[in-house]
Chains A and B, each alone.
Chain A
Amino acid sequence: MPPALQVEGLTVEARIGGALVPAIRALSFDLGREKILGLVGESGAGKSMIGRAIAQLLPPGFVVASGRLAFEGQDLVRMHPPQRRRLLGRAIAFIPQAPLTALNPVLTIGAQFDEHLARIGSGNSTERRRRAITALEAAQLPQAGELLQRYPHQLSGGMCQRALIAMAFASNPRLVIADEPTTALDVTMQPPIIRLLADMQRRHGTAIVFITHDLRLAAQICDDVVVMYAGRAVESGPARAVLANPAHPYTRCLQLANPSMRVDRRTLYVMPEHMPSLQRLATMSGCHFAPRCPLAADDCRATSPPDVTIASGRRAACIHVTATSGIVAIEKPTVVVKTSSRSVLLVERLQKDYVISGRLLRPARRVSAVKNTSFCIGENEFVALVGESGSGKSTIAKLLVGLEQPDAGRIVLNGTDLVPASARTQKLRAEGLQMVFQDPYSALNPRRRIASIVTQAMEAGSRQASWDERLRRTEELLAEVGMPADLAARLPGQLSGGQRQRINISRALCNLPKVLVADEIVSGLDVSIQAQLLNLLTRLRAELGFAMLFISHDLAVVRHLCDRVLVMYRGEIVEQGPIETVFADPRHPHTRALISSVPPDEPSAMWAKLQAN
C-alpha cells in the first residue's frame, strides 16, 4: 500500500528579478498512513509552501519545477485539475492558521458547514444538519445545534478552530494539512486543540502534516519530523530522537536558543544574522546555514552538503554531524545586577472601566478592563506580566505610559504621582517611563531615517538638539543594541523584523528611562531572533540599568528573562511572586493552566495535557 503522502525531490522555484531561485530544494519525505509528520522551521523556511503545493495554490511567481507529490501513489502535481479538485476537501483536508479569517464572517457556522457537506455530497438538508451536529459534538463543542445559528465573530478563536477541525474531518479525509493550527490562539487554548487534533487523527486513522515552528510541540505529537532551513530539509527522523539528540547544527542551535521551562536558566545560544531571504539565496553557494553555523569550515562554503544517514530513518544535511553535540551556549559570567528593595514604580488600586454604549433596548454596560490592581517594580528589576489575551495586560501598559487615563488609582514614579495630567507629569513620564511596542512594523515611521527615529526624543517639545548631536547619540545607541553605525541613514523598510525591534528598543532607551514597558516585544519573532533580543535586554540591563515591565504570553521567555511575575486573569492580578516560586508551586488555577500549556523540553517527558481525558 503506498504511503499517504510521498514527496520525492520536490523543488519549488520562485522568479526573483528574472532569475529562478529554489524556494524548496529537492525535498523528500514519506508520510505513512495514520501517522503524523511535523514540518518544523522558522518563518521563511518554506514549510508552508508544501501545503500550498499540494493545493496548487502557490503564490504568484512560484512553480513546482520538478519532483513528485504523491497522495496514495497518485502524483498531485501532474494530476488533471478536476481530478485534484475532487480529492481536495474530501480525501485531503486543510486546517488553517487563523481560524477567524478562514471562516466567512457573514455566514453562520451552520450555513458554512452545510455548504461544505453539500459539496462533499452527503444527503439532504436534514441529514446534513444531523451530520454537522454530530461532527461538532465530536470536536467537543457543547450545544452544537445552537452553535450552528451563530456567526464566527460570536465565537472565540478556540471554538472557531474546533469548528474548522470538525469540518476538516467531516469528509473522513485520509490526509490533513494543519498549518500552525494553534499559533493564532491563546496559549491556554493550545493543549486542548492539539489534543483534539490527536484524538480525531486516532479516531479517523488520518495521516497529518503538522506545520509548526515549535520543536517541543512537534516532539510531543508527531511521529516523525522534518526540520527545514531556507527551503531545504536539513534534518529528518523520528520526532523524539531528533529533539533528544539533534544531528544538524541548526536543530541544535534552535534548541539552545529556545528558553526552557524546567532546567536552570542559561544563556541562550545566539545564532548571528537571520535566515537568508530568497534574494540572497540566489547568490549563495555551499551550505545555506554556513554563515550562521558554529561548525562552518571552508569545505562547508564550497559545496552544498549531501544528506548523511545517521541511523535508520535519520538523515541530516551536514558534513560535520559528529561535532553537533559539542555545540553549547557560551556561558557568560553571570552579571550581578543591583536590584534594591527601593521601588521605582508603584501602582496602587488602579482601575479602568470601558463603557460599552447601549443600543436600542440594550442599556450601556461598564466593563472593567483593570480592577483594583496594585504592584510595584524595584530598581533594575524585570517584572513579567502574563495572562491570556483580554486579561487586561495591554490596558495596564497603556495606563502606565499615559495613552489611557485610569478611572481611579495612583501611578507613582520615583515618588511623583503621574495620574493628574499636567505638563510636568507628561515631562516626567517622557523622561522616566518609556514603552517598546509589539509590532515592529507599525512602531517605526516608514518616512523617517533610522537616525531620526532613534533620537526622536531629542526633538520633542522645546528640546531641539542639533543634527550633529543627534548623529553622535545615534552612533552610541546603535552600538548599544549591537547594530552597525551605517544603518543610521537607512529607512525602516530596509530592515528585518528583528532589526526593527532593536531600533524600537534603542528609541525607548534614548533618554535613559528608569522603567521600560515592553508589550509582547518578542512574540512575533522567530526563535533565533528572539534569543538575540532576550540576550540583548539582559546585557542592556547590566550596562545601563533600568527596570522593565515585560508583558508576554510566553512563560518560557518570561522565566528566562524576569525576576518576578504577575499573573493577570480577567482584569485582576491573581498571583504574584518570584518566578521560580510561582512556577514551581502555582496557587491559582489560572496560573496552573498557563504553566501546563507549555510542552515539556525533554523529549522523553510526556506532556500531561495530551494524556488527560
Chain B
Amino acid sequence: MAKVVARCLRSPRVLVAMAMVVGIGACAIFAGTLAPHDPAEQNLLSILTAPIWQTGGDPNFPLGTDSLGRDVLSRLIYGARTAMLVAFFASLGAMIIGTILAHISGYFGGAADWMIGRAVDVWMSFPPVILSLILMVGLGIGLRNVIVAIVLVDWTRFCRVLRSEVLVVTRNDYVAAARLLGFTHWQTIRREIFPATLPLLITLVSLEMAIAVVVEAILSFVGLGVGANQPAWGQMIADARQYVYQSPWNLLLPIIAIFLTVTAFNLLGDGLRRTLDVRLVETGR
C-alpha cells in the first residue's frame, strides 16, 4: 500500500490534479471564511462592476458583481461548495449501487447477471441529461434531489465497467481456492474480489466526480438544479447570459471554474489509472 502511495506521489499528473482538487475542496469547506461577502447579499448601487484588472474595478469586489450587485468571487467560492457536495455524494451513491450490483452480476452470473445486465442496457438507452432533467422535474429542485438524480442516472456506468473486472478476477484460481477452503460467498467477495477491483473503482469515482460537476451545472443552468437561493456555477452562467456584452467576465469566470474542476478530476482519474492499474505498471515500464 505504501508503495502505491509513493508511486502516486511520483506521478506529476496525479500531483497537479491533487493540488487542484485540494484547492477547490478547500474553497468548498472554508467558503464561510474565504468569501469576502455573503453570496446572496445584493448591492444594488454597484451592479455589474468590472473585475479589478479592468477600468472601473472596485477593490471591494475583486472579480466584480453580477446584475443584482452580488459579489462574483463569493458566489464562485460558494458555488464550489455546491459543486463539490454534488460531486462527492453523487459519485459515492452511484459507486455504492453500481459496485454492489456489479459484484452480484459478475460473481454469481446466471439469472442475476442477465437481469442486471438488461436493466443496465435499458437504463443506458435513455439520453442521460434528458433522463436527469425528467427526474428533476419529478423530484423537484434542491441539492439532495440533484444528487439523487445523478445517482439514478450514473450507477450504470459503474455497474457495467466493474462487472467485467469482477468477471476477470473471479476466473482466477485463488477465488476457487477460497471457496474450497470454506469461504462463504460474502467472504469471498469481500476478501478476494473486492480488493482486486479497488484500483479501477477509485479511478471510476474520480471520473464520475467530473461528470457530476458537469451535470449539476447543466441542471442549474436550466433552473432545475439546487434552487435559486443556493449559489451554483450553472446558475451564474444562466444569469450572466443576458449581460454578456456589458460584463463578459461574469459569464467567463464560472465557465473557467467548471473547466478547472472537471480537468482536475479527469487528470486525477487518468493519473490514478496509470499508477494503480497493475497491468499498465507491469508492461509500461
Given the contacts A445-B192, A447-B196, A430 and B174 also touching, CB distance less than 8 Å? no
Q: Is the CB of A443 within 8 A of B183?
A: no
B residues near A439, Cβ cutoff 8 Å: 173
A residues near B195, Cβ cutoff 8 Å: 447
Q: Is the CB of B182 within 8 A of A460?
A: yes
Q: Is the CB of A437 within 8 A of B176?
A: yes
Interface flags, B166-184, vs A, CB<8A=1, else 0 = 0000001110111111111
Given the contacts A442-B172, A445-B192, A447-B196, A460 and B183 also touching, CB distance less than 8 Å? yes
Q: Give CA–CA (A296, B227) in the complex, Å.
A: 84
Q: Is the CB of B176 within 8 A of A403?
A: yes
B residues near A443, Cβ cutoff 8 Å: 172-174, 177
Given the contacts A445-B192, A460-B187, A437 and B182 also touching, CB distance less than 8 Å? no
Interface flags, A421-448, vs B, CB<8A=1, else 0 = 0000011011100110111001111110
Q: Is the CB of B184 within 8 A of A442?
A: no
Q: Give CA–CA (A33, B190) in the complex, Å.
A: 62
Most chain B CB atoms below 10 A, which of A402, A445, A456: A445
B residues near A457, Cβ cutoff 8 Å: 181-182
Chain B contacts with A in 140-176, Cβ cutoff 8 A = 172-174, 176
Which of B174, B182, B191, B278 is in CB contact (< 8 Å) with A442?
B174
Chain A contacts with B in 48-68, Cβ cutoff 8 A = none
Interface flags, A373-411, vs B, CB<8A=1, else 0 = 000000000000000000000000000011100000000
Q: Give CA–CA (A145, B251) in the complex, Å.
A: 72
Band of interface residues on A:
20 to 34
Q: Give CA–CA (A439, B173) in the complex, Å.
A: 8
A residues near B192, Cβ cutoff 8 Å: 445
Q: Is the CB of A437 within 8 A of B187?
A: no
The minimal Cβ–Cβ distance linking A450 to chain B, given in whole angstroms, is 13
B residues near A463, Cβ cutoff 8 Å: 182
Interface flags, B189-200, vs A, CB<8A=1, else 0 = 001100110000
The minimal Cβ–Cβ distance linking A136 to chain B, given in whole angstroms, is 36
Closest A residue by C-beta to B176: A403
A507 at the interface (CB under 8 A from B): yes
Given the contacts A445-B192, A447-B195, A460-B187, A435 and B177 also touching, CB distance less than 8 Å? yes
B residues near A429, Cβ cutoff 8 Å: 180
Q: What is the total number of residues of chain B having a CB less than 8 Å from a CB of chain A?
A: 18
A residues near B187, Cβ cutoff 8 Å: 459-461
Q: Give CA–CA (A324, B180) in the complex, Å.
A: 46
Q: Give CA–CA (A546, B187) in the complex, Å.
A: 28
Q: Is the CB of A434 within 8 A of B182?
A: no
Closest A residue by C-beta to B172: A442
B residues near A426, Cβ cutoff 8 Å: 182
Q: Give CA–CA (A459, B184) in the complex, Å.
A: 10
B residues near A507, Cβ cutoff 8 Å: 177, 181
Chain A contacts with B in 451-485, Cβ cutoff 8 A = 456-457, 459-461, 463
Which of B183, B191, B196, B278 is in CB contact (< 8 Å) with A461?
B183
Which of A430, A437, A442, A447 is in CB contact (< 8 Å) with B181?
A430
Q: Give CA–CA (A402, B182) in the complex, Å.
A: 11
B residues near A510, Cβ cutoff 8 Å: 181
Interface flags, A514-554, vs B, CB<8A=1, else 0 = 00000000000000000000000000000000000000000
A residues near B173, Cβ cutoff 8 Å: 437-439, 442-443
Interface flags, B269-282, vs A, CB<8A=1, else 0 = 00000000010000
A residues near B176, Cβ cutoff 8 Å: 403, 435, 437
A residues near B178, Cβ cutoff 8 Å: 445, 456, 460
Q: Is the CB of B182 within 8 A of A427?
A: yes
B residues near A438, Cβ cutoff 8 Å: 173
Given the contacts A442-B172, A447-B196, A461 and B177 also touching, CB distance less than 8 Å? no
The minimal Cβ–Cβ distance linking A233 to chain B, given in whole angstroms, is 32
B residues near A460, Cβ cutoff 8 Å: 178, 181-184, 187
The minimal Cβ–Cβ distance linking B118 to chain A, given in whole angstroms, is 18
Closest B residue by C-beta to A423: B184
B residues near A446, Cβ cutoff 8 Å: 278
Most chain B CB atoms below 10 A, which of A401, A426, A430, A456: A456
Q: Is the CB of B180 within 8 A of A401?
A: yes
Q: Is the CB of B180 within 8 A of A434?
A: yes
Q: Give CA–CA (A444, B178) in the complex, Å.
A: 10
A residues near B278, Cβ cutoff 8 Å: 446
Most chain B CB atoms below 10 A, which of A427, A431, A437: A437
The minimal Cβ–Cβ distance linking B239 to chain A, given in whole angstroms, is 50
Q: Give CA–CA (A144, B186) in the complex, Å.
A: 54
The minimal Cβ–Cβ distance linking A427 to chain B, given in whole angstroms, is 7
A residues near B179, Cβ cutoff 8 Å: 403
Q: Is the CB of A435 within 8 A of B180?
A: yes
The minimal Cβ–Cβ distance linking A279 to chain B, given in whole angstroms, is 16
Contacts A445-B178, A447-B195, A463-B182 supplied; 9 other A-B pairs, CB < 8 Å: A437-B177, A438-B173, A442-B173, A445-B196, A447-B196, A457-B181, A459-B191, A460-B181, A510-B181
- Interface pairs (21), CB distance under 8 Å: A401-B180, A403-B176, A403-B180, A426-B182, A430-B181, A431-B182, A434-B180, A435-B176, A435-B177, A435-B180, A439-B173, A442-B172, A442-B174, A443-B177, A444-B174, A445-B174, A445-B192, A459-B191, A460-B181, A460-B182, A463-B182
Q: Residues of B with Cβ closer than 8 Å to A?
A: 172-174, 176-184, 187, 191-192, 195-196, 278
